[in-house]
Structure 1
Amino acid sequence: MLKIVVGGQINKKEIFDYIQNYYGTENVKLEIKNDLDAVMAMQSGQFDYYIGACNTGGGGALAMAIALLGVTKCKTISMPGKILPDEEIKKAVDDGIVAFGFTASHVEQVLPVLLDAIDHKN
């Protein structure tokens, strides 16, 4: 079973609902946590992926993840005015990135690509 924790600073419930609708309730363990608890749960192996949003895509979405998981495990996939190409998002998942941050207004653009890439890897 895939395990995803939703952190970040804003729109956690919207992201949670989107992921739950994508996978259904049977196929994923999904929780919302504050940033510190989410990343600590990642460190302890309770979750496979961290997904978070903020207004910049990297600051509030990934700051704690970068601090505790390390920058090599984290990727900003969108920021104001820029969304990474689908191929770069897929490559990040394939390369072992486990924490993803994005601009909250890009939920509809980045989550389908990210979740599809996670599906293909797992």
Structure 2
Amino acid sequence: MLRIVIGGLKKDVIERSAKAAGGDKVQVTVTSDFDAAKKIKAGDADYYLGACNSGGGAALSVCIGILGYSNCSTVAKNGKKPNPAEIEKLVSEGKIAFGMSVEGIEEAVPLIVNSLLKKNNLA
């Protein structure tokens, strides 16, 4: 089971999208971005999903500070659609924190969750 923590804006939409994509293969916890990053660092969660208006600022800033820049990536910036091939690449590279714009949540979250399930042999 993947343990996903959620922070940022529109947490309810991210939560609903993650649960719909992962079903009983994901455990989703809604919290603050600070607590989410601490949970990952402590080994109490596996992945972070967060959103802000731009997709790259507040969605990931705390995670970058706590988990390191190399573990984080923006997958859907404001005004742009998420790229499935890019998400697959980021997941395969071992990224654990994903940021997106609020307008990209419903498209990006299922792509991320499905890629994570595949990587972890849960698909």
Count of residues in Structure 1 that have an aligned counterpart in Structure 2:
120
Unaligned runs of 5+ in 1: none
Please tell me whether residue 121 in structure 1 is matched to residue 119 in structure 2: yes
1:74-103: CA deviation from partner (whole Å, max 9, x where unpaired):
000011122342111110000000000000
Equivalent AA in structure 2 for residue 73 of structure 1? N
SS in 2 for 1:61: coil
Contact 2:71 2:94 in 1 (8 A): yes
Give the share of equivalent positions with the same residue, in percent.
38
SS in 2 for 1:29: strand
Equivalent AA in structure 1 for residue 55 of structure 2? G
The match for 2:16 is: 17
- RMSD between superposed Cα atoms in Å: 1.1
1:1-122 to 2 correspondence within 5 Å? Answer: 1-8=1-8, 10-24=9-23, 26-122=24-120
SS in 1 for 2:58: helix
Contact 2:22 2:114 in 1 (8 A): no
Unaligned runs of 5+ in 2: none
1:40-97: CA deviation from partner (whole Å, max 9, x where unpaired):
0010011110000000101111000001101000000011122342111110000000
Cα distance in 2 for partners of 1:84, 1:18 equals 15
Q: How does the TM-score come out when normalised to structure 1?
A: 0.93
Cα distance in 2 for partners of 1:98, 1:65 equals 10
